[in-house]
Structure 1
Amino acid sequence: MGKPGKLALPSHESTIGKFLTQSGTFKDGDLLVNKDGLRIVSQSEEGEAPPIEPLDHNQLSLDDLDAIKVIGKGSSGIVQLVRHKWTGQFFALKVIQLNIQENIRRQIAQELKISLSTQCQYVVACCQCFYVNGVISIVLEYMDGGSLSDFLKTVKTIPEPYLAAICKQASDMW
């Protein structure tokens, strides 16, 4: 009898490699994310996309955020409460390992594109996004009241007038 064969799993590099540029920028269609931040490049722009410029002094940097605690977990990563070192402002930091399933990676890219294009008071604001060493970090507005699903765990049901207001706000976004 021969030795049992080993199961060869795709490496992290082969899983995500097709989405990385030579400079180490994560690219999904017109979405570009690297250590300096995120931007959308128009499909009509010719040739190689110009690099994302480093952040100016008024913008967020991952190095300026201190982790306080984990406040959520999902299928693609965790959410941490973080505090900006210089201003004391709180943010939610969604941390996602990109050696994940293709459909989840696409969902994350779509979420980022929607966050950039939607300026709605009823949607959690995406403040910045970074890609460093296989990890996407999304800096979000911190909502200290929690999510709608957290709220439902507490109240069990939402009275119809409140539900109507939530539905109206959601429909106003589209």
Structure 2
Amino acid sequence: MPRTRKLLAALFALLGALITWWPTPPGTEVAVTTRALPPGIPLTEADVETRHVPPGLSPADAATKSTAIGRTLTSRAGPGEYLTTTRLTPPNPTRTSVAVRLQDKAITTLLKPGDKVNVVTPEATILAEDATVVAIKDDDTLAILSTTKQTATTLAAQSLTTPLALTLN
């Protein structure tokens, strides 16, 4: 009986060594999402992971982790979805995201990520045109918008003192 255990232990040790040194099958490294993601937010290291995929299962335009980081999704992505170059926008150093406090939270029932909106003050001054909705937060009172860096600065400063209104484009 002890001899059988020793033989089995040696066999399992050999099997473990073989698995460790066995070459990786041919395939492709593909970037996938780690969680559900809205469009419009630049992807970070935490949003993307790499998976080894057999060649026949990899999309022709599959993105790698290094090409996905910093780019934004053009549409929503669920957890574990392959990222492809056609679903990613090129990095845009002139745009950023900004949080805007909303005057009327009822508008949020009409909004979804990717919608284009204008941002207006209570005095009817247009602060931003064609901003992209990235997300709605804080019990529907805060909109995260993607816009130019200069406009984002104006929106952030104005939103500190006055809730703003959105109009749909």
What TM bracket, shorter-length normalisation? under 0.3
TM-score, normalising length: structure 2: 0.23
TM-score, normalising length: structure 1: 0.23
